[in-house]
């Protein structure tokens, strides 16, 4: 590991600050990993939805990646929004040289329901990027797409997890069960064993950016040398606190609180 833990995010933006690159960098900073970023798409979005998307030209994405990879240490990295196949091909080619943990947040749809990835690119992601991962972190709808089956309960989450790792080639998978009824349970499968992470559901609509924040927290903790289980366990606590102390900002789904751990310390 570097003298300071260094984490890279490759993703799209969110000018309202709750998701995407902005959420990733806030999370890295709060968890004391040095954050770096490569922007794939500039997204005009807020708590109510996505207004417009501009994809960064491929040559600029390449130059961003080359600038970071040629000069900076990377202890773990994540990808978020990668909108089309050309971007995926370029990123896949570049990241194979990074022999560090790779966390994929398979961003397909925003919290508002807006599509963030071309439909044909979803198949390419599943077939070509997924096998490169150390961990993939789909929510229920993303996991259902990956295995092409509906997921409605914990047992089906476990069955899907096995397919994503054993059949599709992911290094490990964390399926997030936040959209099921009852307690919020996530299932981690590492190819050998299952681990469940369960917390009491927090009654709030302010969940904008939770997927980005969760995967960024895992990336930060892995960059610091933690095991996969330790990183997920601590990231689950972080994102739960971020939801608990979320902000009622905007007219839609408000953002999570990236300095929620400070709030917890204050309460104590």
Q: By three-state DSSP, how is residue 167 classified?
A: helix
List 26, 94, 100, 176, catalytic entry: 176
**Distance between CA atoms of 235 and 220, rounded to whole angstroms?**
9
**Distance between CA atoms of 179 and 264, rounded to whole angstroms?**
25
List 137, 185, 210, 240, catalytic entry: 210
- Is residue 178 part of the annotated active site? The answer reads no
- Is residue 211 part of the annotated active site? The answer reads yes
**Distance between CA atoms of 33 and 76, rounded to whole angstroms?**
10
List 17, 20, 80, 209, catalytic entry: 209
- Is residue 210 part of the annotated active site? The answer reads yes
Count of CB atoms situated within 10 Å of the CB of 199: 17
List 9, 212, 236, 254, catalytic entry: 212
Task: Say if strands 173-176 and 41-46 run parallel, antiparallel, or are unpaired.
Answer: unpaired
C-beta of residue 172 within 8 angstroms of C-beta of residue 135: yes
- Is residue 240 part of the annotated active site? The answer reads no
List 211, 213, 254, 256, catalytic entry: 211
- Is residue 225 part of the annotated active site? The answer reads no
Which neighbouring-strand residues pair with 28?
Answer: none
Place of tokens 């070509």: 128
**Distance between CA atoms of 256 and 264, rounded to whole angstroms?**
14
List 9, 207, 213, 240, catalytic entry: 207
- Is residue 176 part of the annotated active site? The answer reads yes
**Distance between CA atoms of 244 and 128, rounded to whole angstroms?**
36
**Distance between CA atoms of 159 and 169, rounded to whole angstroms?**
15
Q: Which residues are catalytic?
A: 176, 207, 209-212
């Amino acid at each position: 590991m570097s003298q300071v833990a260094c984490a890279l995010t490759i993703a799209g933006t969110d000018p309202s600050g709750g998701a995407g690159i902005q959420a990733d960098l806030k999370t890295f900073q709060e968890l004391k990993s040095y954050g770096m970023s490569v922007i794939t798409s500039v997204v005009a979005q807020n708590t109510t939805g996505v207004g417009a998307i501009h994809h960064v030209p491929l040559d600029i994405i390449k130059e961003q990646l080359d600038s970071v990879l040629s000069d900076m240490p990377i202890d773990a990295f994540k990808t978020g929004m990668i909108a089309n196949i050309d971007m995926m091909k370029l990123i896949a080619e570049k990241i194979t040289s990074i022999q560090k943990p790779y966390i994929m947040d398979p961003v397909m749809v925003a919290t508002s329901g807006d599509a963030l990835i071309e439909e044909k690119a979803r198949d390419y992601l599943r077939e070509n990027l997924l096998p490169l991962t150390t961990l993939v972190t789909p929510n229920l709808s993303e996991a259902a797409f990956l295995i092409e089956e509906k997921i409605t309960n914990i047992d089906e989450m476990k069955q899907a997890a096995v397919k994503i790792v054993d059949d599709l080639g992911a290094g490990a998978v964390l399926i997030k069960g936040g959209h099921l009824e009852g307690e919020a349970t996530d299932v981690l499968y590492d190819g050998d064993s299952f681990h469940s992470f369960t917390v009491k559901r927090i009654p709030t609509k302010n969940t904008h950016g939770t997927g980005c924040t969760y995967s960024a927290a895992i990336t930060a903790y892995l960059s610091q040398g933690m095991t996969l289980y330790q990183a997920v366990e601590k990231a689950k606590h972080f994102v739960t606190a971020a939801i608990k102390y979320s902000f009622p900002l905007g007219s839609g789904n408000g953002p999570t609180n990236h300095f929620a751990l400070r709030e917890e310390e204050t309460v104590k």
